[in-house]
A = this chain, B = another copy of it.
Amino acid sequence: MEKVNDSQNNKQTKDNLPNVLVIGPPINITVLKPKHPQKYNLSKPWNAYNSPPLDHFMVENKYDPTMFQALICCAYSPINAIVLQFIPCLKLVVTSSTGTDHIDLSVCKCRGIQVANIGSLYSEDVADMAVALLIDVQIKISAADRFVRTTMRFDFPYCSNSKLGGKRVGIVGLGNVGMQVAKRLEAFGCIILYLSRKKKPFVTYTFYSNMLELAATSDALILCCPLNEQTRHMVNKEVMLALGNKGVIVNVARGPLINEDELVNCLIEGQIGGAGLDVFENEPNVPQQLLAMDNVVLSPHNAAFTTETYMATTQLVEHNLEAFFSNKPLITPIKLD
């Protein structure tokens, strides 16, 4: 954990600017600060993955914990009850992520803290990544590239490559990302199935309410749903066995949607065909056993990190802050219920 001494920033503090606490390493903060240096006093306790001693930071930098009404965080920042108790006057949490599973929403609700995410800003990029991971696993682009680079030969054993067109793809969670994935895969000639709590009246794709049934019918599963207690480990060994030994799993949502130990075992045993993973159960740790597998594509949770979306995220985080400090409705509020 790299601890950042904030005293230098503190010296530049202007009393008339709102104080904003920045928790974790939000991708947007480096862009936000230089572009609009004098809109907020940004205080950064740390910039690593670990949870910090927030109370120590306050004392060391001689901060009054009540000075912070707003904080910015990202998917890697656990905004749990312990963190929240050190910021007694907090009224706003803005996360630079789509998911809010890292935020204790029930504490926020109790204390009247508003929460904003980045809405559907990442949907297209994440859908692009999902499709790319699926094609890559099906026709082994990363593995073949690795083969050419290391052997300088052309005789890559592509015998298990499988055509995308005609494949039945089960999309788990037909929200913004899921819809964008479906739109793209239709153009490749895939047949779209989906799992959702309720049937969507506006689509013609085949609806499933049961994960096992979806897996048994699908050639590939693409996970695009939020992580919560109902969805944690929804893809377990039983689901993978139903998907079958040619089935492919793509996860662009959250690692713990899959029981990762069981995934690793199913891959080792050849009980599923392959996996394209942008997220993992214990990031940034990737199971060692996956590193030598050619039927797996490993992506370091960077689906949404294109230059264009990075800039748009920065703007949206800032617009939410502006709305909050102007007593206007948030641009992309999370409904707390």
Contacts and interface: CB of A to CB of B under 8 A. Distances in A.
A132 B135 CA distance: 7
Interface in A130-158: 131-133, 135-136, 138-139, 141-142, 144-149, 152-156, 158
B139 A142 contact: no
Interface in A168-201: 183-184, 186-189
A129 B155 CA distance: 17
A306 B303 CA distance: 26
Given A154-B300, A291-B149, A162 B307 contact: yes
A53 interface: no
Number of copies: 2
Interface string A270-290: 000000000000011110000
Contacts of A206: none
B307 A128 contact: no
Contacts of A129: 139, 141
Contact of A141 (B133, B166, B285, B306): B133
A145 B184 contact: no
Contact of A163 (B285, B302, B309): B309
A154 B76 CA distance: 12
Given A132-B132, A141-B136, A164-B128, A159 B307 contact: yes
A301 interface: yes
A146 B142 contact: yes
Contact of A148 (B158, B189, B300, B305): B300
A125 interface: yes
Given A139-B129, A189-B124, A298-B145, A286 B161 contact: no
A297 interface: yes
A88 interface: no
A188 B128 contact: yes
Contacts of A132: 132, 135-136, 139, 141
Contacts of A297: 141, 145
B131 A163 contact: no
Nearest to A308: B163
Interface string A197-237: 00000000000000000000000000000000000000000
Contact of A300 (B133, B142, B144): B144
Interface in A4-37: none
A160 interface: yes
Contact of A187 (B147, B154, B163, B183): B183
Contacts of A160: 307
Interface of A: 124-125, 128-129, 131-133, 135-136, 138-139, 141-142, 144-149, 152-156, 158-166, 183-184, 186-189, 283-286, 291, 297-303, 305-309
16 contacts: A124-B163, A125-B139, A128-B139, A132-B135, A136-B141, A141-B141, A142-B146, A148-B299, A149-B298, A153-B284, A154-B301, A156-B300, A158-B305, A184-B184, A186-B187, A187-B187
Given A142-B146, A147-B300, 8 more contacts: A136-B141, A142-B142, A144-B300, A145-B297, A152-B291, A153-B300, A155-B284, A156-B302
